[in-house]
Amino acid sequence: MDSGIGLLAAAAAVRRARPDADLVLSSDPDGLPWGPRDAEGIIERALQCARAAAARRPDALIVACNTASVHALPALRADLEPALPVIGTVPAVKPAAAAAVRTGGRVAIWATPATTGSPYQRRLIDEFGNGADITPVPCHGLADAVESGDEDLITAAVQAAAERTPADVETVVLGCTHYELVGNRIREALRGTRTEGPALQGSAAAVCAQALRRAGTRPDPGAAPTGDLTVLHSGRVAALPEAALTYAEGRLLAAAPASLA
């Protein structure tokens, strides 16, 4: 679940790990974006979105949204667990900082402006930064650009954030699930004169692994691709939005049979 298409990266990770898994993608186009809402408003929309997914009786629920994980995760778990395991999304500050300490490299955290200035992100850095050189980078308009699928808006937002990122950064933590959909563009924008761009630390692979574990199953990437796909828009059965097909993750998911029930 997510307010919009930021859930595609985690959903695609599950699809690759378990091609036989039935997936429910629950987003909230009636209520997005969640970021500018206050905590109470985010909790309300997240609960509605989660309950719509829970009605499909899944084995685990991934909250594929940093904003919802920050503000609504306790409420979601209180409402749905233990019957339904709820897996939140946390920016990968800890592994990125640990690697930076070993190599002496620098880390940047790309996140929405609201997250960049939040006590939540400061706590993550204080608790897991381990003394690494970490630069927060507010990415104005990038999540909205990714949501729209507009190539020019994405290019402009990525470039603007790249210009605020120190040139010698070796690792970039993607602190918004939308950003994982344009990881290659981010890496290229930051490459400069280097042979390769910086390493990117997203969260999709980690939350996929945790979701499979909590669901009591294991990865089986060789399984027959029999899993179907249900898309919910603010609780209504729908199709994948056209913007989702802009991204490889969306095209992978679109290849699955669609459930219209």
Give the CATH number for residue 232: 3.40.50.1860
Measured distance CA(88)–CA(74) in Å, rounded: 10
Which backbone phi and psi does 137 adopt, to 5 degrees? -125, 110
- Per-residue pLDDT at 91 exceeds 80: yes
Measured distance CA(54)–CA(26) in Å, rounded: 10
* One domain for residues 60 and 130: no
- Per-residue pLDDT at 193 exceeds 70: no
Residues 197-237: tens digit of each pLDDT: 899 999 999 999 999 999 999 999 999 999 999 999 999 99
Query: Among 49, 139, 176, 208, which one carries the catalytic annotation?
Result: 176
Which backbone phi and psi does 185 adopt, to 5 degrees? -70, -35
Separation in Å, CA 69 to CA 60, 188, 230: 15, 29, 22
* One domain for residues 67 and 107: no
- Identity of residue 120: Y
Mean pLDDT of the residues in the chain: 93
Residues 104-157: tens digit of each pLDDT: 889 999 998 888 888 888 999 999 998 999 999 999 999 999 999 999 999 999
Write the burial class of residue 38 (CB in 10 Å: 0-12 exposed, 13-18 middle, 19+ buried): exposed
Is 139 known to be catalytic? no
Domain that holds residue 232: 5-89+205-254
Is 49 known to be catalytic? no
Measured distance CA(55)–CA(61) in Å, rounded: 11
Measured distance CA(115)–CA(35) in Å, rounded: 9
* One domain for residues 84 and 107: no
pLDDT band at 260 (very low <50, low <70, confident <90, very high): low
Supply the pTM of this predicted model.
0.92
Tell me the torsion sign for CA atoms 12, 17, 22, 25: negative
* One domain for residues 113 and 173: yes
Query: Among 49, 65, 139, 208, which one carries the catalytic annotation?
Result: 65
pLDDT of the residue at 261: 59
* One domain for residues 111 and 191: yes
Measured distance CA(65)–CA(178) in Å, rounded: 8
pLDDT band at 101 (very low <50, low <70, confident <90, very high): confident
